[in-house]
Amino acid sequence: MKTEYAWQIVATAGISILMSGCLSGPRIGNAAGVPERHPVQVAVHAARPVVVDGKLDDAVWEQAPAYPFGVPAAVAAADAVPVENGEVRYAWDDTYFYVAARFTDSDIVAEGEKDGLPQFQYGDLLEVFLKPVNDTYYWELYATPLNRQTCYWFPGRGRLGLPSGFAAKAPGMVVAARSQGTVNDWRDHDVAWTVEMAIPRAVLTAYGAKFGPGEPWRVLAARYNYSRWLPRQGPELSVCVPLDQANYHLLEQYATLVLAP
């Protein structure tokens, strides 16, 4: 991998794990002089439960703003767009926080065949990070084109990489994806994949934070895109907020999540 990706290897449970989709570069925070910036991203209220089937045909997704993915500044110039684009939308109801994403993809790859794997090592991936503003802990949640999921939870960035964080669970989380193409066939050209996630609000409030309109949370949606047809080495990385580095743990730069009533 090129050095700008700032990969780190962490040994957990006898295996080496890349820090977290995990792209973890130098410790960055306000103390290092990095300004906070929190673009607002809105989750619309779903009048009825979303049917999580990967189709993105629920009425709520027509109402929800679409947030496009861009390339981190360390990888390309500011405002650069990825070779293969994508967008993410958010919704919520009394039970779930919903995420929907659509990705252009010339070569859909998903070699992870079980839930709970470090899926960024296995292929294409949607990652969703959620953090209460008034606490240190946060979630890192994965969805793949093969409907696989993973949940990581970290008590704080200073404990990032410990085995306990990688052993987290998200009971009741639902993931579903649809592919326009053939997953894991490098011989052909694929078109796109779509994915939906339903994250139980009970998971997000398990440690005391409240989750609802007016409650302060941060969000980051990020992508790994592996493809035979892309020109650069390794996966193309993209995110739905501007990041100074290819590091998905820059908590200070996540978007402000607003749950619209």
Domains and CATH numbers, the chain: 3-27+38-259 (2.60.40.1190)
Who wins on pLDDT, 1 or 79?
A: 79
In the predicted model, is pLDDT for residue 32 greater than 90?
A: no
In the predicted model, is pLDDT for residue 219 greater than 50?
A: yes
Tens digit of each residue's pLDDT (9 = 90 or more) over 162-198: 999 999 999 999 999 999 999 999 999 999 999 999 9
DSSP letter string, 136-153: S-EEEEEE-TTS-EEEEE
- Per-residue H/E/C for 13-67: CCEEEECCCCCCCCCCCHHHCCCCCCCEEEEEECCCCCCCCCCCCCHHHHHCCCE
Q: β-pairing, 40-45 with 86-92?
A: parallel
Tens digit of each residue's pLDDT (9 = 90 or more) over 36-51: 467 999 999 999 999 9
Mean pLDDT of all residues in 241-245:
89
Tens digit of each residue's pLDDT (9 = 90 or more) over 90-143: 999 999 999 999 999 999 999 999 999 999 999 999 999 999 999 999 999 999
Query: What is the per-residue burial (b if ≥16 Cβ within 10 Å, else e) of 208-234?
Result: ebebeeebebbbbbbbbbbbeebeeee
Tens digit of each residue's pLDDT (9 = 90 or more) over 8-25: 223 333 333 333 455 543
Mean pLDDT of all residues in the chain? 87
Reported for 3-6, long-range contacts at CB under 8 A and 24+ positions apart, including other chains, are 4/74, 4/75, 4/246, 5/75, 5/234, 5/237, 5/246, 6/74, 6/245, 6/246, 6/247
**pTM of the full predicted structure?**
0.87
